[in-house]
């Protein structure tokens, strides 16, 4: 499995059919610190570089640009598309953003991702990551994000991993700096349970290995 070392933005609504839909008008208050989002959602693109041919959607707050016509924003929305992988993500960030290395908020919800690409671990300033309603099926994929020391908010519901045993405890244990997961605050009790679960899991794994 490729690891991060090896390569050194919202609320949700549930429709009547049970599917979670993204509400673009409801955003956490700290979005203000990232500036208006570069919104490339609902563009019907199947890969990240497909966004290069698109214009960002207009929002309530205008996007400002620098002298090179790159956007002064730390937020990128690629939600509600058909993206299957993140090949070309860094190039796309550099194409749209004045300071791509300062990306703080990335919305990849409602796509067709099946794993967590290690390229996400290169986004060292990332604070908020939306991955809900994709096709991520392996819970251990979350461990790759452990190097993102500033990541405090993540969404993963609506993926197959949500049905895994110990789902919430595993994610909180793997990302101990989290303050919010799946639009729900991470409490002190959550952290205690996550630590107990991780200890129990590791002990069981070590016992199994010693018997082999």
pTM (two decimals): 0.82
Whether residue 51 has pLDDT greater than 50? yes
Q: What is the mean pLDDT of residues 189-193?
A: 94
pLDDT for position 201: 80
pLDDT digits (tens, 9 = 90+) for 126-177: 999 999 999 999 999 999 999 999 999 999 999 999 999 999 999 999 999 9
DSSP 98-127: SSGGG--EEE--SS---S--GGGGG-TT--
For 53, the token pair is: 């041919």
- Provide the pLDDT confidence category of residue 26 given band limits of 50, 70 and 90: very low
pLDDT for position 16: 35
Q: 129 - beta bridge partners?
A: 106, 154
45 CB-near residues (< 8 Å, 6+ apart):
51, 54, 78, 81, 82, 83
pLDDT digits (tens, 9 = 90+) for 95-114: 999 999 999 999 999 999 99
């Amino acid at each position: 499995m490729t690891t991060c070392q090896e390569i050194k933005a919202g609320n949700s609504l549930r429709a009547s059919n049970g599917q979670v839909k993204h509400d673009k008008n409801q955003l956490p208050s700290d979005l203000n610190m990232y500036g208006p989002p570069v919104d490339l959602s609902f563009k019907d693109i199947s890969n990240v570089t497909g966004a290069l041919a698109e214009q960002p959607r207009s929002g309530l707050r205008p996007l400002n640009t620098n002298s090179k016509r790159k956007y002064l924003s730390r937020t990128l929305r690629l939600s509600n598309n058909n993206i299957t992988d993140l090949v070309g993500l860094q190039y796309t960030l550099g194409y749209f953003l004045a300071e791509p290395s300062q990306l703080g908020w990335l919305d990849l919800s409602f796509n067709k991702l099946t794993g967590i690409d290690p390229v996400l671990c290169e986004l060292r300033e990332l604070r908020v990551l939306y991955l809900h309603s994709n096709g991520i099926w392996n819970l251990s994929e979350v461990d790759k994000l452990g190097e993102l020391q500033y990541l405090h908010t993540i969404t993963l519901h609506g993926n197959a991993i949500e049905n895994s045993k110990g789902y919430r405890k595993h994610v909180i244990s793997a990302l101990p700096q989290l303050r919010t997961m799946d639009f729900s605050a991470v409490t002190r009790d959550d952290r205690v349970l996550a630590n107990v679960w991780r200890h129990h899991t590791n002990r069981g794994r070590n016992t199994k290995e010693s018997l082999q």
